[in-house]
Chain A
């Protein structure tokens, strides 16, 4: 009996040590990163084809719009610039993904698509998660546990290679399948071809109706909209961890990171919560939207209102986001191609 108890205690101690190493290791990693000089060019492996692959991750704001989602528009804008570089933008936004969801997705996606740049626009979903959890003391404890005990997330990440939807492909397979296609993708591609869309629309998971200038936008749930806005301006610990973990994963893979902010929301909260800001490009969407809305009104740019100041984008709204992203991305790429 004593031996069994001793055994259990040893295992517990092992896990305790392991947990502290996870915390310390994160800090060490940040320290090492701050010593490197990573501000240089993007090292692309595709020098022969002169291609630049951009992986866009986010929630329904990213995925929505079909042919007019902002990643699709971004691709068109970038390729129309005539830089000589062929841009491929992969839209892996999906509705309902919180920052922590995206943290566990981004590693496998990077390995799957091997992008040069990772773009993300996330955070608004977190309020749903945090809200559900933080009501009772028990739930507060659960949240605390989930946010601070790293070992579970670590174990989950270790098991990522077993996820069937994120199976890695060899370089040859990726090339043969034109860089992005698993069965789901191929099915969507065929669907789009039948519908008459272009190949770039393949990966969209959502499609919003277009809105017309002049219609009135209503907030469905005023309280939730306010809470969402509040959560974006003062991110809860859940979101802080999500962003920092996301940054860590992307940096570990050596990819450049572009973090965009929701329309009409200041960058200040993001700049405050992210510890390792070095070499991250932040993209704000305040001035562009404010000026445009002054002329054409909110309904021209949003299909609904998730917060009092923005919602899912209309084609025009998504175009504004795409343009600000293009402006931030072009200097990163063009500079490295023309030394």
Chain B
């Protein structure tokens, strides 16, 4: 069930009404059943796979917690992590691995040794396996206490708002919310509703309409420089709005039920350097990578060279996590490189003195913002492209075949982004992500009306083929 479908809305309304009427214990049971239905609506068979992962982790973490023997604890940790990585590895990366193996063997003249299997990628697998690993490792480290009841841990993983692509929650943040009764106040309800509404707006109006610019350009086969540039800019915001929108819907729905789900994005394009960017972009993933990959590798405690190695490994794997393709790996490596360079260089560049003066600080900030945004966009080119050939062709187009299709495509993208940019600037300057929600009620009515109009009139109402680009 997609969030932006009538089935889901009907589903949620029914579940929510029941949720408000029953006791805490039954609320948990209701949500577990509802989440199972939610996942099963995609494919009920893979529900069992999730149960395998959940059961293994619950079982292992119980033993880790109860045992005093270091070897036993380590063995159960290894078992749990291995099962989760095996599931993830098989379903997500098997064909990638086989494909590369074939390519390698072809070099030696052995053609088509391995046949790729037709494997379905289970929905949400990257997310729930990572959540599971974080849970078990936290129990091992003594950071959190494991769930007493199987139902509580099951709830933690399967809770439907964040199941598919939601923020990766930590047990110590979420489990207490499962086990203690939740209070849904009027304020909480309306805040949650607002967040979900804003999330729907980002997804259905902004992301889907930007996709209409991005997809034709990335389909090729020929590229026009100006359109490539526009498509990359558009994609930068498309992926942000898609993801942030989804996260906001998850957080909003959770809030309506009294849950506090972690923030996943904090105005990432206002970052002026890579380190800051990763503190603002997909925050739950980057903190996961930091806590369970970067720091165990040694973090930045050891020599500079080792720090770079750790950064590169972490980001390479982080890139690979996004998808089974070398373009994702290169995207990860690219960010690893940016982070390493930033770490190396930042202590030697304290900032040009000229720009310390009041008026110039803003300009310098904007310059750094612009430069870093473009660096990020180059990364997105790798992320979105199908192959390195395509990346090369598109870069060539930008550099050497820059004609353009006139102002219309740019005006279109700008018009779509205008509401988002206005709100985000306000959010940044006030430091309040709920800026819009805190405005005077007339302003809010205006904003909600505009959002509803844009979603209904320019999102849902079949504004297909609105663009007619000719290449």
Q: Which residues of A contact B412 (CB under 8 A)?
A: 32
Stretch in B126-134, B194-202, B442-450 with 4+ CB within 8 Å of A? B442-450
Q: Which residues of A contact B466 (CB under 8 A)?
A: 252, 254
Report the nearest B residue to A151, measured CB to CB.
B453
A252, B463: Cβ atoms closer than 8 Å: yes
Could you say which of B441, B457, B458, B470 contacts A37, with CB atoms under 8 Å apart?
Answer: B470
Could you say which of A28, A35, A40, A253 contacts B465, with CB atoms under 8 Å apart?
Answer: A253
Docked CA distance A157–B411 (Å): 27
Check: B83 CB closer than 8 A to any chain A CB: no
Q: Which residues of A contact B408 (CB under 8 A)?
A: 32, 35-36
Q: Which residues of B contact A185 (CB under 8 A)?
A: none
Check: A1 CB closer than 8 A to any chain B CB: no
Q: Which residues of B contact A165 (CB under 8 A)?
A: none
Docked CA distance A254–B314 (Å): 46
Tell me the smallest distance from the CB of A103 to a CB of chain B, in Å: 13
B445, A17: Cβ atoms closer than 8 Å: yes
Could you say which of B407, B442, B461 contacts A35, with CB atoms under 8 Å apart?
Answer: B407
Docked CA distance A35–B441 (Å): 37
Could you say which of B445, B454, B456, B458 contacts A10, with CB atoms under 8 Å apart?
Answer: B445
Tell me the smallest distance from the CB of B123 to a CB of chain A, in Å: 23
Check: A25 CB closer than 8 A to any chain B CB: yes
Check: B452 CB closer than 8 A to any chain A CB: yes
Check: A44 CB closer than 8 A to any chain B CB: no
Docked CA distance A71–B468 (Å): 28
A154, B463: Cβ atoms closer than 8 Å: no
A25-B457, A154-B457 known; A35 and B411 CB under 8 Å? Answer: yes
A22-B457, A40-B470, A158-B456 known; A14 and B449 CB under 8 Å? Answer: yes
A25-B458, A252-B462 known; A32 and B411 CB under 8 Å? Answer: yes
Docked CA distance A40–B454 (Å): 29
Q: Which residues of A contact B454 (CB under 8 A)?
A: 21
Check: B173 CB closer than 8 A to any chain A CB: no
Check: A8 CB closer than 8 A to any chain B CB: no
B461, A13: Cβ atoms closer than 8 Å: no
Docked CA distance A32–B411 (Å): 8
**Interface readout for A24-44 with B: 1 if CB under 8 Å, 0 if not?**
010010001001111010010
A253, B470: Cβ atoms closer than 8 Å: no
Docked CA distance A25–B466 (Å): 14
Check: A107 CB closer than 8 A to any chain B CB: yes
Check: B406 CB closer than 8 A to any chain A CB: yes
Report the nearest B residue to A20, measured CB to CB.
B449
Check: A18 CB closer than 8 A to any chain B CB: yes
Check: A111 CB closer than 8 A to any chain B CB: yes
Check: B415 CB closer than 8 A to any chain A CB: yes
Interface size class of B (residues with CB under 8 A): 20 to 34
**Interface readout for B51-89 with A: 1 if CB under 8 Å, 0 if not?**
000000000000000000000000000000000000000
**Interface readout for B409-453 with A: 1 if CB under 8 Å, 0 if not?**
001100100000000000000000000000001100110111011
A18, B449: Cβ atoms closer than 8 Å: yes
Report the nearest B residue to A157, measured CB to CB.
B461
Docked CA distance A14–B441 (Å): 11
Docked CA distance A10–B442 (Å): 8
Check: B464 CB closer than 8 A to any chain A CB: yes
**Interface readout for A258-292 with B: 1 if CB under 8 Å, 0 if not?**
00000000000000000000000000000000000
Docked CA distance A231–B324 (Å): 64
Q: Which residues of B contact A10 (CB under 8 A)?
A: 441, 445
* Residues of A107-125 contacting chain B, CB below 8 A: 107, 111
B415, A18: Cβ atoms closer than 8 Å: no
Tell me the smallest distance from the CB of A160 to a CB of chain B, in Å: 9
Docked CA distance A17–B448 (Å): 9
A37, B462: Cβ atoms closer than 8 Å: no
A25, B407: Cβ atoms closer than 8 Å: no
Docked CA distance A21–B453 (Å): 7
B445, A14: Cβ atoms closer than 8 Å: yes
Q: Which residues of B contact A32 (CB under 8 A)?
A: 408, 411-412, 415
Q: Which residues of B contact A35 (CB under 8 A)?
A: 406-408, 411
Tell me the smallest distance from the CB of B193 to a CB of chain A, in Å: 14
Tell me the smallest distance from the CB of A256 to a CB of chain B, in Å: 11
User: For B452, B458, B464, B466, which residue has the most chain A Cβ atoms within 10 angstroms?
Assistant: B466
B453, A18: Cβ atoms closer than 8 Å: yes
A28-B415, A32-B411 known; A13 and B445 CB under 8 Å? Answer: yes
Q: Which residues of B contact A25 (CB under 8 A)?
A: 453, 457-458
* Residues of A240-263 contacting chain B, CB below 8 A: 252-254
Report the nearest B residue to A107, measured CB to CB.
B462
Report the nearest A residue to B458, measured CB to CB.
A25
Q: Which residues of A contact B464 (CB under 8 A)?
A: 252-254
- 5 further A-B contacts with Cβ under 8 Å, apart from A13-B445, A14-B448, are A17-B445, A17-B446, A25-B453, A40-B470, A254-B465
- In the assembled complex, 17 residue pairs joining A and B whose CB atoms fall closer than 8 Å, in A order, are A17-B446, A18-B452, A21-B453, A21-B454, A22-B457, A28-B415, A32-B415, A35-B406, A36-B408, A37-B470, A38-B468, A107-B462, A154-B456, A154-B457, A253-B462, A253-B465, A254-B464
Give the 3 A-B residue pairs with the shortest CB-CB distance, closest first. A254-B465, A17-B449, A21-B453
